[in-house]
Structure 1
Amino acid sequence: MATRAKRRRVARPVGCGGDHGLVPDPGPDPVAGFLSWCGRVGLELSPKVAVSRRGTVAGYGMLAREGVQAGELLLAVPRAALLSQHTCSIGGLLARERGALQSPSGWVPLLLALLHELQAPASRWSPYFALWPELGRLEHPMFWPEGERRRLLQGTGVPEAVEKDLANIRSEFHSVVLPFMEAHPDLFSPRVRSLELYQQLVAVVMAYSFQEPLEEEDDDKEPNPPLMVPAADILNHVADHNAHLEYSPDCLRMVATQPIPKGHEIFNTYGQMANWQLMHMYGFVEPYPDNTNDTADIQMVTVREAAFRGAKGDAERLQLRERWDYLCKLEMVGEEGAFVIGREEVLTEEELTTTLKVLCMSAEEFRELEEQDGWADEGEEDSLTITDIPRLRESWRRLLRDSVLLTLQAYATDLKAEQDVLSNEEAYSKLSWREQAALQVRYGQKMILHQLLELTG
């Protein structure tokens, strides 16, 4: 069954061109126009690579014309060719008004730059925009009908993340973006003062922008703002990628990280992304079991609920409330937090270990913990890699198992039903793209959770 699922592609279905009459007509060959533009702006593409719609997992991608060796330069984008709040034609205004454009996302200046450049008849980035996906056909779940989103992605964490996004987008647009555009009507035509368009551009920035990492000594600073990197954003993502982006003072360089045979697609990495994150932020998934970065979440409040259900009487429940409050003070848990479980390791090892330890303590152990204001390191028992789980204390394993069972109840279907569909080629092929993608998200999470059930049983 797993090998059958592995062959299936569920990358996002996107077109080219645009909506709202904003993205310029790509003409008969948008790739040729883009490559000509690259030459004019000094964007260097290796002769060993080609931009193509054929032979790629989704939309445009980049293929190897001939064999590429690890370490070879695939493309180099001069910083002047980047599209950002600093390089756009209204960069000076955005810099002067930066105080009024602050928002929790930090994306408003770039989004305003895109809104302006898309409607500017002589924008220097017009050939770049011609390779953008069609804005009206973006497949992020934020564009799905709410009922369909909840039906297909219930239990995965995606609907909740989307609802937060939509609320933040509406708030940001009406409180910051629209007032700024209305204050500068000569720069923003009425057709771009649209919440619908703004939401589409948020999705584009979410899926295609890059964020330059901070230097190690600057870790306390605010993150760098996002920027658009022409050519680099053509590369699709897989967990087992063969290229990555490097930053230097003069340019951004995409470099091969392993040999790439002739005719193979060149893949970047968007980070260690679980399938639910890929679905939420990028509008595609990797079919099981390709995404080695896949994870499943156990909500922190679910562990609390499992502990309360196992309590014997009011006295034990009162003790559990005290312990939960203690964990909150340690900042190990929170009402909206989650414990993240990967295929091979627990990514929130310290938080989950501490939570299981405190909630499963005897009353005497907890009193001693409070009096000592912490505990000494007990060595192996605090380790919570996947292979260590069967060696945990029985009370810890029981609470973890009960939490997994509660988590599985949040899904609308069980693992067996999804295995039946995945093992039936005809049934799977009859599903819509959204149904296939959502199935892959759910299935990957449930496989991790069922692995936990086996290890805690």
Structure 2
Amino acid sequence: MAAPAKRARVSGGSPLVAPCPSPRAARAPLPLPAGSSGGEPEGDAVAGFLRWCRRVGLELSPKVTVSRQGTVAGYGMVARESVRAGELLFAVPRSALLSPHTCSISGLLERERGALQSLSGWVPLLLALLHELQAPASPWSPYFALWPELGRLEHPMFWPEEERLRLLKGTGVPEAVEKDLVNIRSEYYSIVLPFMEAHSDLFSPSVRSLELYQQLVALVMAYSFQEPLEEDDDEKEPNSPLMDYLRMVATQPILEGHEIFNTYGQMANWQLIHMYGFAEPYPNNTDDTADIQMVTVRDAALQGTKDETEKLLVCERWDFLCKQEMVGEEGAFVIGCEEVLTEEELATTLKVLCMPAEEFRDYKERAGWGEEETEDDSLAITDIPKLQESWKRLLRNSVLLTLQTYTTDLKTDQDLLSNKEAYATLSWREQQALQVRYGQKMILHRVLELTN
């Protein structure tokens, strides 16, 4: 999988933020030796895919196999024998990657590039997918045969809105999904559909569908990768064959029989369920985070005021922080399991909102002259008990306000998780949402304990 960044101000945003040059098989774009599919019901699809891999020149290690057996979900890549760290698993020629540059309408997409520009940058790739999906003779047909069923994708964007809000309210996922859906609809109706209608000879009515477009967005979000930047020209060897391949190597030893995964990167559970449709069970995700919306800290500060004058002072300080780009109406302070990922922003915000009026005037004046702050504004989790009492009080009140945004409390979720029989009766979506909520609440409750 791709490894999207997680750091700093990770509040709900659109997945449509960067182009992904080519979709790829979820876990296993590797051919098997002839006859090794084991006569499984899906053997024909696997065999066809493997023949395609050999035909396009995909190089693979004989130490891996492709199967549904021994995998977490669907088709997967499994080690046939132990693999050492650093060993090549496969190398894919760039010509085999499905991208706007390799599809059968590449020339048209290039000529119309100006008209296909969008916020996401994904329109040319998605149009390439839409065209190749309906083309019976598409070179990528064997690859499509191993795709998951598009109608059974578990991303929250496909959940009914009521279910999404009921299960994920407070986690940041409903807001992120709503932004996605707005952007997808806008992109589809303003750019994609007009383009397909203008070239109706290339796009059959079967692919002119917002529902299908949304499904392909989710698939690209979960099953694509961003091609790495090339090295500096002076570091390349002339005519090096490696320049024409993308290589996958093992980053750690892999035991025989184990499934092989690409990393999802440092991602919180809310990001995993948003982008991939699943969450890691607590406490496995050491990269989990909880967000405190920046405006929530402002609201907590306003709650602590005694009169209109004090309210105006808080608003003045908030406006100052906005101009300093420390806070924003849609931003969030991100708290991890062991660290505050937005430590500078949170420390500065607590300091400015809590400092005496005269001290704020001096602070604001120094900032106006562009003077640099010399003090250390770092804020690690272990530093929270050492904060000034006013800072801790504001932080605590902000956490309490954040916890009120969830539909359940920590004990309710804890009881469900600790009762195996009750947990087993939950649907897949209910289980995944529970893991997301619980992980976030555990982080927030730890902050509460540290502010006592």
Band of TM-score, shorter chain: 0.7 to 0.9
User: In the TM superposition, what whole-angstrom CA distance separates every residue of 1:365-409 from its partner, at most 9, and x where no partner exists?
Assistant: 1100121126654545x1111111111211111111110010000
* SS of the residue 2:84 aligns to: coil
For residues 166-181 of structure 1, the aligned pairs below 5 Å read 166-181=181-196
Instruction: Structure 1: state its 5+ residue gaps.
Output: 1-13, 15-25, 218-246
Asked whether 1:441 is paired with 2:441, we answer: no
Distance 1:176 1:209 in 2: 22
* SS of the residue 1:268 aligns to: coil
Q: Which residue number corresponds to residue 455 of structure 1?
A: 450
Distance 1:403 1:53 in 2: 47
Instruction: Structure 2: state its 5+ residue gaps.
Output: 1-25, 27-40, 233-240
* SS of the residue 2:65 aligns to: strand
Residues 49, 65 of structure 1: 8 Å contact kept: yes
Report the CA distance between 1:212 and its aligned residue.
2.2
Of 88, 92, 105, the match for 1:77: 92
Q: Which residue number corresponds to residue 285 of structure 1?
A: 279
Q: Which residue number corresponds to residue 344 of structure 2?
A: 350
Amino acid aligned to 1:166 = L
Asked whether 1:125 is paired with 2:132, we answer: no
Distance 2:260 2:327 in 1: 40
Q: Which residue number corresponds to residue 320 of structure 1?
A: 314
Asked whether 1:89 is paired with 2:104, we answer: yes
Distance 1:214 1:354 in 2: 35
Distance 2:443 2:66 in 1: 36
Asked whether 1:165 is paired with 2:180, we answer: yes
Distance 2:196 2:213 in 1: 12
User: In the TM superposition, what whole-angstrom CA distance separates every residue of 1:106-158 from its partner, at most 9, and x where no partner exists?
Assistant: 00000000000000010000010011010010011111111111101111111
Distance 1:168 1:248 in 2: 37
Residues 369, 375 of structure 1: 8 Å contact kept: no
Distance 1:124 1:393 in 2: 64
Amino acid aligned to 1:44 = E
Of 288, 302, 311, the match for 1:294: 288
Amino acid aligned to 2:145 = A
Amino acid aligned to 1:129 = F
Report the CA distance between 1:105 and its aligned residue.
0.6
Residues 90, 113 of structure 1: 8 Å contact kept: yes
User: In the TM superposition, what whole-angstrom CA distance separates every residue of 1:255-285 from its partner, at most 9, and x where no partner exists?
Assistant: 1111111111112112211111111111111
Asked whether 1:308 is paired with 2:323, we answer: no
Report the CA distance between 1:75 and its aligned residue.
1.1
Of 421, 424, 438, the match for 1:426: 421
Amino acid aligned to 2:53 = C
For residues 30-179 of structure 1, the aligned pairs below 5 Å read 30-179=45-194
User: In the TM superposition, what whole-angstrom CA distance separates every residue of 1:193-244 from its partner, at most 9, and x where no partner exists?
Assistant: 1111111111101111111244699xxxxxxxxxxxxxxxxxxxxxxxxxxx
Larger relative contact order (Cα-Cα within 8 Å, sequence gap ≥ 6): 2
Asked whether 1:366 is paired with 2:386, we answer: no
Distance 2:213 2:401 in 1: 38
Distance 2:48 2:326 in 1: 53
Distance 2:108 2:92 in 1: 25
CA RMSD of aligned residues (A): 1.8
Amino acid aligned to 2:49 = F
Report the CA distance between 1:342 and its aligned residue.
0.7
Q: Which residue number corresponds to residue 5 of structure 2?
A: none
Distance 2:431 2:371 in 1: 48
User: In the TM superposition, what whole-angstrom CA distance separates every residue of 1:16-65 from its partner, at most 9, and x where no partner exists?
Assistant: xxxxxxxxxx9752112111111000112211111121222222221111
Q: Which residue number corresponds to residue 256 of structure 1?
A: 250
Residues 42, 78 of structure 1: 8 Å contact kept: yes
Asked whether 1:392 is paired with 2:411, we answer: no
Of 265, 275, 279, the match for 1:271: 265
- Percent identity reads 79
> Structure 1 residue runs of 4+, over 6 Å off?
none
Q: Which residue number corresponds to residue 18 of structure 1?
A: none
Report the CA distance between 1:249 and its aligned residue.
2.5
Residues 85, 94 of structure 1: 8 Å contact kept: yes
Q: Which residue number corresponds to residue 226 of structure 1?
A: none
Distance 1:347 1:129 in 2: 39
Distance 1:53 1:399 in 2: 52
Distance 1:85 1:105 in 2: 15
Report the CA distance between 1:71 and its aligned residue.
0.5
* SS of the residue 1:254 aligns to: strand
Residues 299, 338 of structure 1: 8 Å contact kept: yes
Distance 1:254 1:414 in 2: 43
* SS of the residue 1:341 aligns to: strand
Distance 1:406 1:170 in 2: 33
User: In the TM superposition, what whole-angstrom CA distance separates every residue of 1:421-449 from its partner, at most 9, and x where no partner exists?
Assistant: 11111000000000000000001111111
- TM-score calculated relative to the size of structure 1: 0.86
Asked whether 1:335 is paired with 2:329, we answer: yes
* SS of the residue 1:29 aligns to: helix
